[in-house]
Amino acid sequence: EPETEGTEGYPVAPAAPQTASGYPEAPVVADTAVDAYPATSPETATTASIRTFAIVPAESTARYVVAETFLDGAQERLGIAAGLVDTIGETQVVDGSLSLDFSQSPIALQSGSFTVDISTLQSDQSMRDNTLRDRWLQSGTYPIATFVATGIENFPADYAEGTEASFQLVGDITIRDTTQPATWDVTATLADGKITGTAVTNLTMTAFGFDPPSFGGVFTVEDAFEAQIDFTAQEQ
């Protein structure tokens, strides 16, 4: 459409096309980029901050420590003098993993679970071990004890890799067919992609549905016992 002159002699722009309603059509604007630097998705950031560590069984040991009183009959039956001793049973059949969120301050738990094959626990007395498996732990039926972590408490906010940290790992432990809450006191060091440390918790046998072992005239065992794990976990 040819330009026309206005009252001052300047050219006048052509009128905008009219719609059926009589109003001018809106101009068409070409698409443009809103942001030249796309944001990192929250999912990607979260994935990058989570590190998973798996138990190395050959470098880990689970054990129980319990007070046992040997009675007069222990000398004749077991060759053990009467008295109070700490009895220890151990196994290296330990498995599990721990995922930690390093984007949090302090470091937070993402997930974690661990298992111990309690049917493989061994002390210095095979008769004790067999009796414990058959009559109390019933490990032929329930061979695996499981701990599922639900949180970390009192982890130092200023933790630096290569140094030792003390904190609590809380969750639920299942022995036989009974689950109870448990809190582990953990001392551990993260260095070179590996966590090494020790975890300790105090439990009672009656809480898991069985009475402490005893054998008339030979020995009695305390209800309370300490569970310990010396562990190494390698980053995956």
Contacts by 208-212, CB closer than 8 A, 24 or more apart: 208/175, 208/176, 208/178, 208/180, 209/176, 209/177, 209/178, 210/136, 210/137, 210/138, 210/176, 211/136, 212/136
Give the tens place of pLDDT for each residue, 115-144. 999 999 999 989 889 989 998 999 999 999
pTM metric for this prediction: 0.77
CB atoms within 10 A of CB 66: 21
* CATH T-level assignment (fold) for domain 61-235: Lipocalin (2.40.128)
In which residue are the tokens 């094959």 written? 117
Rounded to whole angstroms, the Cα distance separating 62 from 215 reads 25
Give the tens place of pLDDT for each residue, 14-48. 444 444 444 444 444 444 443 333 333 344 435 77
3-state secondary structure 160-177: CCCCEEEEEEEEEEEECC
Give the tens place of pLDDT for each residue, 45-91. 357 799 999 999 999 999 999 999 999 988 888 888 999 999 999 99
